[in-house]
Structure 1
């Protein structure tokens, strides 16, 4: 009897934790969509599905929000089959058909191009990413997609920040929302507020059929992997540090950096009105979310994607 009771208690606890995790991720995604106005009424969202945990979670959470959101938007999942040796081409179509989502699998042999151009032992990510991006932009036009959703999460964004600082000499991360270089596409990252470790647990909970990337997975000494291990170590030793660093990306003070293109240091003289966020150093500050305004400058009410869709009355009105 005790063993059965223990098993029941463990099952209840697992269900409780799983529900908490699902709600947390759903709210993180909803908050990111709301904060950056990622998805609007009538959008056609192309979710780029690689077969990894992050893109599976992105698709799953967006499908859940789609059912209850007060706005209407459609979703199409797109997978790029890069013709990697041993790639299980049947896994994603079977999964997507099982959940009843519209999808397209695009076959492009970018693998051969990368292997031919990049010398053995060198990092393939940069070229692979550029080739993949070009194909996805083309497919987005073919499908009439108004938004392209990528599965990068908070950890990816912070890793990119440190990669650019350490190796590129730039203070630059991954934006949650951007317009492509050709000006034709809006790219969004709805997982921007989500932790990778939460997404790992969610993938286990939902039992997604994960497909590993053999093209880049065999490069253990990637600079990104080194930075990832550094951040994970900080997260273990200094709880809360990762959250604080990400908040820093949302509280930038140009007058306290050193970019003469970003702030007018050259013309700065005594007697002028101090810059916002001026000489406060480490004084305690209060941060407030900006109030959205319309074209006339009036406060604008923004619909939250986390709001429930209004239910129809019994008469159908």
Structure 2
């Protein structure tokens, strides 16, 4: 992948058997292997479309350092995601009345595919709806992992947002204490507590999280199998302890679709360094594999499970 500030940064750039020549209103691609030239016309208001064409023709992955406000919506929506992302997100937002006039919405940006997808979704809603609300992206970062969030800061700037970063010693608290039996639960609780504290200090009334359909059904089955209860991860609820509303706009979106979306847009995903995420002892991973196996026989199993517990989601 190459990062560029403008299309002119590609001038005289070589990639495999391609060489790019940039003129005032077109991009010339010289293919030394096929001994042919391709010319692409462009204008300054449609740079993203030009980049998409270049990627298709050459395979070169290009990331633009800044996106104009005119093209931002086009970049976020992309193509082919109406049915899998925007329609189910819109349905969840409407069904649970997630966003209201004057809301100040914090977005828990972990740096993963789901939280970045939620961030994009809220920016999209902000642009296409008549509801006035504010978006405040917040990142809780373990100091042990170093300062690896620079790309996310830049990405938020492209969206017209400022990422707030709060560093913590989560890894030291969780993984050096062998008496902690469920570090994943405690990790989530600590992160959430930090977010709630920041929200209270800044008078933020809602928190958007990146949990999707798979997370909801996996959590439900985990509670049934291991806790003997039917507690669920609700698309919207009020935290009585902190007095803030938590929303999950991806409640009807499947994980496979956030994966496709994040890859298509080359989102700046932080590497996941959690040792429990892929551990053989991970109960969530076991449940995830069970669902994956059943889905081979019934591809709609996730929707079937979610529909069976819909009354519990309110």
Paired residue for 2:214, among 139, 155, 165? 155
Q: How does 1:209-248 map to 2 (within 5 A)?
A: 209-215=268-274, 216-217=276-277, 219-248=279-308
Match of 1:176 in 2: 235
Match of 1:164 in 2: 223
Give the root-mean-square deviation of aligned CA atoms: 2.6
Deviation at 1:119, TM superposition (A): 4.9
Q: Distance in 1 between matches of 2:311 and 2:223?
A: 19
- Say whether residues 1:106 and 2:166 are aligned partners: yes
Contact 2:278–2:285 (Cα < 8 Å) also in 1: no
Aligned residues: 243
Q: How does 1:1-317 map to 2 (within 5 A)?
A: 19-22=79-82, 24-86=84-146, 88-119=148-179, 123-215=182-274, 216-217=276-277, 219-251=279-311
Which segment is superposed worse, 218-227 or 29-38?
218-227
Structure with a larger share of its residues in strand: 2
Secondary structure (helix, strand or coil) at the match of 2:81 reads helix
Deviation at 1:218, TM superposition (A): 5.2
Q: Distance in 1 between matches of 2:147 and 2:306?
A: 35
Where structure 2 has 5 or more consecutive residues not aligned to the other structure, the ranges are: 1-33, 39-52, 58-73
Q: Distance in 2 between matches of 1:106 and 1:242?
A: 35
Deviation at 1:94, TM superposition (A): 2.3
Deviation at 1:18, TM superposition (A): 5.8
Q: Distance in 2 between matches of 1:118 and 1:97?
A: 40
Secondary structure (helix, strand or coil) at the match of 2:289 reads helix
Greater RCO, 1 or 2 (C-alpha within 8 Å, sep 6+): 1
Secondary structure (helix, strand or coil) at the match of 1:105 reads strand
Q: Deviations over 1:234-262 (max 9, x none)?
A: 1222122221111111146xxxxxxxxxx
Name the TM-score, length of structure 1 as normaliser.
Answer: 0.70
Deviation at 1:87, TM superposition (A): 5.4
